[in-house]
Structure 1
Amino acid sequence: MQHSSNRRSNRVRSEETRDKLIEAARRLFVEKSYAETGTPDIAREAGVTRGALYHHFTDKQALFAAVVEREAGSVAEEIERHTVTSPTASAALIEGGKAYLEAMQAPGRTRLLLLDGPAVLGRSRMDEIDNCHGNRTLREGLKAAMEMKQIRVLPLDALTGLLGAAFDRAALAVDSGADKDAYEAGLAALIVGLSVTR
């Protein structure tokens, strides 16, 4: 019984250390940039040894990937939370666009996901991450709207990629100070333009 309890507490401690490292790395990557942040800085910020850092992550890039994965997951959670009560699939797409822009306003998130992410991890790795999170929610929404005959049936992967790029461009513009309402209206118009009843 004691042995099982120790194993569980070791696992909890290990998860807590990993969380500390991800949170510390996120703060520093946003504050100083990926290039200007070293693993000693991250270990110090997290209050752990470098050995503990390398126990959990093979290198700084692996830790950055964990930060990006967590940020992308948070965005997807926000989209799902805001669209679960939407009356129709097409309304959920519009609400999802708004939720995406709102979620991307978390300090540093746009830079992490849309600028540093592709530069550090490469486009294909970022696409893998996005396809598990933000693009997944968009793809599922488009598929549901097509199946319910609320929008035109078009090649799903291509449409997801094109709309996802539009959402990302809007997030970058808003992050640079553009009018969020204007971009929300533009994204909504793109989705309404897919309607079978327009």
Structure 2
Amino acid sequence: MATNRERTETTRLALLEAARGLFVDKGYSATSTPEIVLAAGITRGALYHHFADKRDLFRQVLAREAMAVAADIEAATPERLGPREALLEGSEAYLKAMTVPGRTRLLLIDGPAVLGMAEAMAIDDANAAHSLREGLKRAGMGRGEVSVDALSQLLSAAFDRAALEIEGGADAKEVRAAMRWLVEQALGPVRKAPKR
């Protein structure tokens, strides 16, 4: 027999998954809360028990997507990797994670349009952008010449644009290669270990 906590989590998950599917298929504004509860097999009261409104539900859908992207980056960048390799592997992991159907639209198009740029960026900043910033710091990027935060924001924007290009039908292999080249240029030449 399921506990109250398990039932609550099952209901919440059903709402999030139904909402995600509808937001991807129809867009935020064309999706109604009655459609969401019907798709989830949940009552409308249950929706408002778990979420303040449709916008709050959308925010939580975005947060889940952003956390999934960050988890994929973390999985691709174990501690044993050096800073350079971790940044390159993390870059590839981000672009791969963004190919999950609907994810680019949710995070990069509808998210800023519905929540506003500041809130959408805050969600990203707590997830993939955080991973990128920490990777840049670990790799010693900027080295006092430029702000790591500013560099992180600019590279993050380039990654987002690359994801949008791939989503729009650009050659994914070419886009990934260009992003890898860009990150390698930012990292600078490979430093050779001193001879003993």
TM-score (normalised: structure 2) = 0.91
Equivalent position of 1:165 in the other structure: 157
Aligned with 1:177: secondary structure?
coil
Identity of paired residues, percent?
51
C-alpha deviation, 1:118, in angstroms: 0.2
C-alpha deviation, 1:22, in angstroms: 0.2
C-alpha deviation, 1:95, in angstroms: 1.0
Matches within 5 A, 1:178-197: 178-197=170-189
CA distance in 2 between partners of 1:86 and 1:179 (Å):
32
Matches within 5 A, 1:109-188: 109-146=103-140, 151-153=141-143, 154-188=146-180
Equivalent position of 1:3 in the other structure: none
Structure number having the greater helix percentage: 1
My pick for the range that moved more, 45-54 or 77-86, is: 77-86
One-letter identity of the residue aligned with 1:188? R
C-alpha deviation, 1:152, in angstroms: 4.2
Aligned with 1:14: secondary structure?
helix
One-letter identity of the residue aligned with 1:87? L
CA distance in 1 between partners of 2:21 and 2:172 (Å):
25
Per-residue CA distance 1:72-117 (angstroms, 9 max, x = gap):
0000000111111663211111111111111001010000000000
Per-residue CA distance 1:149-182 (angstroms, 9 max, x = gap):
xx44231110110000000000000001111111
8 Å Cα contact 1:83/1:92 also seen in 2: yes
My pick for the range that moved more, 167-176 or 10-19, is: 10-19
CA distance in 2 between partners of 1:184 and 1:69 (Å):
25
One-letter identity of the residue aligned with 1:179? D
Matches within 5 A, 1:27-176: 27-84=21-78, 87-146=81-140, 151-153=141-143, 154-176=146-168
8 Å Cα contact 2:142/2:148 also seen in 1: no
**Which segments of 5 or more consecutive residues in structure 2 lack a partner in the other structure?**
191-196
My pick for the range that moved more, 176-185 or 41-50, is: 176-185
CA distance in 2 between partners of 1:82 and 1:160 (Å):
19
CA distance in 2 between partners of 1:61 and 1:23 (Å):
15
Per-residue CA distance 1:10-33 (angstroms, 9 max, x = gap):
111111100100000000001111
8 Å Cα contact 2:70/2:131 also seen in 1: yes
CA RMSD of aligned residues (A): 1.5
- CA shift in 2, pair 1:86/1:183, >3 Å: farther
**What is the number of equivalent residue pairs in this alignment?**
188
8 Å Cα contact 1:90/1:191 also seen in 2: no
One-letter identity of the residue aligned with 1:58? A
CA distance in 1 between partners of 2:179 and 2:76 (Å):
16
Q: After the TM superposition, which segments of 4 or more aligned residues of structure 1 sit over 6 Å from their partners?
A: none
